[in-house]
Chain A
Amino acid sequence: MASKTRVTIIGGGIGGYPAAIRAARMGAAVTLIEKDVLGGTCLNRGCIPTKALLHAGEVVHTMQESEIFGISCKGYAVDFAAVAKRKDTVVKQLRIGVESLLKTKKIRMIKGTATFKDASTLRILETEEELASDRILIATGSSPSRLKFEGADGPDVLDSTRMLELTELPGSIVIIGGGVIGVEFAQIFSRLGVRVTILEAMENLIPGFDGEIAQALEKSLEGAGIDIMTRASVTGISHNAGGNDVRFRIDGKESTVTGDKVVMAVGRRPEMAGLGVERIGLATEKGALKVDEFMQTSVPHIYAAGDVTGGIMLAHMAAAESECAIRNALGEKRPMSYRTVPGCIYTSPEVAGVGLTEEAARERYKDVEIGRFPFFACGKALVINRTAGIVKIVSEKKYKEVLGVHIIGPRATDMIAEAVLGMSLEMTVEELAEAIHPHPTLTEAIAESAMTLHGGAIHMP
């Protein structure tokens, strides 16, 4: 009997553990090395805990608006310690789930830090065990970036990881960075009664998303009482008894905003500490591991996936890259496609987009058409009292290919899946408009938006 291919995966996050399961399913002998806990950033310090907190905020909001539905919810109280505990319970349960999946697949798990001894041998620093492998997947993820300015290392300047460890609510926070992480933290704490200010260096919040959608989100967050300063570059933080004075400059004019805590939400950087990639000559680019379209590094039997490869750092993209990487490592040959990677923000209203933004589409195609449909014209949206937002579709004129779908509104992050599937199948506006959407649902807004480019919407004048 042929001996099994020995696959070692470094990192037990969303870019690592699914690859371990896939490799085991494909008949490999799999070892997974994780220096901390299974589930990585996504499960322990990112997607899942933030969503748990956001949902708590949604519950608060439901209480606040319950009178609209004829239900009185006076006298509720937010016990943030309990909220944090519930978040931890969810995280723990999911972690146990991942662990049992790996056990079921007979994947060997090593808790420790991996370092390359040579291109085929990994050493575990804590135990000095050495592992020989036929194929290696590096999925070591990322860690929060920190800007360098005066006071950036102050005791109240926290990154996303430390923010999630809070068990008491601060009175006010200043968030540096209005990207996905920044706006979600803003939403969480604002809903729980904290005064929130966002400082964003760019023209709009959530850079990279469709401009019109980003502006709509900005208005919505401002409407919820969040202070937002765009084109604001932070120059320093002074820690004092009254809190933390964050100094920033807009168009050359300096101002200050004060917060009990300062959140550093300025993105993430690939994590390769201790790995010793330079020892085996792995090529890097801008601090990230360099891979080709097959997720192969410069060393043929070593692959990499997820945040460590740089680019847009999203959990679902890491999962897709790791699937692609491990299949290629085990003999298949399929390139990774980034054409339909959705981006999701779990604010209220939610934001989701896939494909080209209007700006990018206009740059690439001469003629583009934009379809829009507002949720206020959607029956189900009115039923649930979530009428803010639109579905926006970007298509080219020649064949009416759907180039991008951008949603701000209720359940946008769930609804975007339809657009992802359709676009991956190269749909045109016709298919989207003519597909029978269930009634009454929020998805009708997608169909109606497509109809505006295909003979006209029904529920719009």
Chain B
Amino acid sequence: MPVEIIMPKLGLTMTEGQIVEWKIKEGESIRKGDILFVLETEKVTYDVESPGDGILAKILIQEGKSVPVGTVVGYLARPGEDVSGLSPAGLPAAGQASSDRETPPCPPETQEVVPPGSEEGPQGRIKASPLAKKTAAANYVDLRTVKGTGSGGRILRSDVEAELGRKKSGADIPAMPAATDEDRLVPFSGMRRAIAKKMLASKVETAQTYMSVTVDAGNVMEYREALLPLIEEQYGVRATITDLMMKITASAIRMHPIINTRWTDKGLLYLKDVHMGMAMALNEGLIVPVIRNIHDKGLGQIARDRSDLIRKGKENRFLPDDISGSTFTLSAMGMYGIEQFTSNINLPENAILAVGAIIDKPVAQNGAVVIRPVMTITLSYDHRAIDGAEAGKFMRTLKSFIEKPIRILA
């Protein structure tokens, strides 16, 4: 019997995935562990390995299609195994040619496979009326962005129209200018859509306020230098300034629990543990992998975790659980020489720290001008939950910890 290749579930929140690329063609052979196809969710792209040795007998879901988790996307067969009668459910296809008939089976050209109970269509499991779906398609409205007011949250035409109304006046999508040789349209990836949605929500749904402070980074650099060989020996990784900044920031957050909160409908949720998100750039876009329980970890472990996460990111091996659940995020732009910048709060968190580059600058010290390595850090915080005074106290603690890192041992 051919083996079903299914859309895997990568983490708790994944409901559907898009096949970005089949790495081999129908009829080609593959070994267990080789990359069979690449999938993309809203959050990650992921290489799916072959479950065994064999031949890719049938591709049911073509590239570019999104299907729910658990959907059969293809079949793996042994060489010579007959797969002509396979249907999406793995049962003989209806009207299968009997042995004395020469009817070739139709290839399922762009077949959608939908498990019972879900709604058909390119959106997968989205409860929407047929009319709402058609209205959305005709007006380029992503149903995932529409709030349904029908029974059980079902999206109705009026909901799609309301979404259209929220768009800029002149809801009709302007006609594309005629493409020239220089212009090219790159369709949005799931990740780009997710980034856009999150960034916009961050700006629209929070009362973002900013405060900056310039700190002396001399001791941070010294500490890192001193600890580098120890950590390298024990953990096999080189600790970075960012690792140290994450460690120090986590210690400051523990002193100011208001920073580690979440805005909810019922009230302000104080989170016990600190899970530090670190903004990371991939070729496809921005992602925020998470170092869990960072407050319980030493610098070496943090450096190891960070290094593992970066490797996973480069290899497209993030699981959704690696990139969700952060309670506070740190974004560092030192590698680009950026002196000072602000970051958008990573919802549903209440604050984010933007860490600039360490730059030698003349500063006044004991009545004399000296050159010191300084760094400007900027906190973006949701003023609905965190008052300026609270943010200020946190930044004061953070500055004192950065300038004298030994204090975090107190």
Contact = CB atoms under 8 A, between A and B. Distances in A.
B135 interface: yes
B132 interface: yes
Contacts of B135: 399
A71 interface: no
B130 interface: yes
Contacts of A1: none
| Consensus secondary structure, chain A interface | loop
A400 B157 CA distance: 13
A431 B131 CA distance: 10
Contacts of A235: none
Given A426-B157, A428-B131, A430-B130, 18 more contacts: A398-B138, A399-B131, A399-B134, A399-B138, A400-B134, A401-B131, A401-B157, A425-B129, A426-B129, A426-B130, A426-B132, A426-B156, A427-B129, A427-B130, A427-B131, A428-B130, A428-B134, A431-B130
Interface of B: 129-132, 134-135, 138, 156-157
Interface in A91-133: none
A441 B135 CA distance: 33
A425 B129 CA distance: 6
Most chain A beta carbons < 10 A, residue from B130, B132, B156: B130
Contacts, number: 24
A426 B151 CA distance: 12
Contacts of A398: 138
24 contacts: A398-B138, A399-B131, A399-B134, A399-B135, A399-B138, A400-B134, A401-B131, A401-B157, A425-B129, A425-B130, A426-B129, A426-B130, A426-B131, A426-B132, A426-B156, A426-B157, A427-B129, A427-B130, A427-B131, A428-B130, A428-B131, A428-B134, A430-B130, A431-B130
Contacts of A425: 129-130
Interface of A: 398-401, 425-428, 430-431
Most chain A beta carbons < 10 A, residue from B131, B134, B135: B131
Nearest to B131: A426
Nearest to B138: A399
Contacts of B129: 425-427
A400 B133 CA distance: 12
Most chain B beta carbons < 10 A, residue from A425, A426, A428: A426
Contacts of B130: 425-428, 430-431
Nearest to B135: A399
Most chain B beta carbons < 10 A, residue from A398, A425, A427: A425
Contacts of B138: 398-399
| Consensus secondary structure, chain B interface | helix
A428 B129 CA distance: 9
A412 to B, nearest CB: 24
A425 B157 CA distance: 10
Nearest to A428: B130
A432 to B, nearest CB: 10
Contacts of A400: 134
Contacts of A399: 131, 134-135, 138
A431 B130 CA distance: 8
A400 B130 CA distance: 10
Nearest to B134: A399
A55 to B, nearest CB: 35
A398 B134 CA distance: 9
Nearest to A398: B138
Contacts of B134: 399-400, 428
Q: Which 3 A-B pairs have the closest CB atoms?
A: A426-B129, A426-B131, A399-B134
A210 to B, nearest CB: 21
A28 B156 CA distance: 33
Nearest to B128: A426
Contacts of A427: 129-131
B122 to A, nearest CB: 16
Nearest to A427: B130
A32 to B, nearest CB: 29
Contacts of A401: 131, 157
A401 B132 CA distance: 10
B294 to A, nearest CB: 45
A426 B131 CA distance: 6
A393 to B, nearest CB: 15
Nearest to B132: A426
Contacts of B157: 401, 426
A431 B135 CA distance: 15
Contacts of B131: 399, 401, 426-428
A232 B131 CA distance: 43
B167 to A, nearest CB: 19
A235 B129 CA distance: 52
Contacts of A430: 130
Nearest to A432: B130
A426 B160 CA distance: 13
A431 B132 CA distance: 13
A193 to B, nearest CB: 49
B158 to A, nearest CB: 9
B45 to A, nearest CB: 34
Most chain B beta carbons < 10 A, residue from A398, A400, A401, A431: A401
A429 to B, nearest CB: 10
A403 to B, nearest CB: 11
Contacts of A428: 130-131, 134
A425 B155 CA distance: 10
Contacts of A431: 130
B275 to A, nearest CB: 38
B289 to A, nearest CB: 42
A399 B138 CA distance: 9
A427 B156 CA distance: 11
B171 to A, nearest CB: 15
A427 B132 CA distance: 9
B120 to A, nearest CB: 11
B241 to A, nearest CB: 55
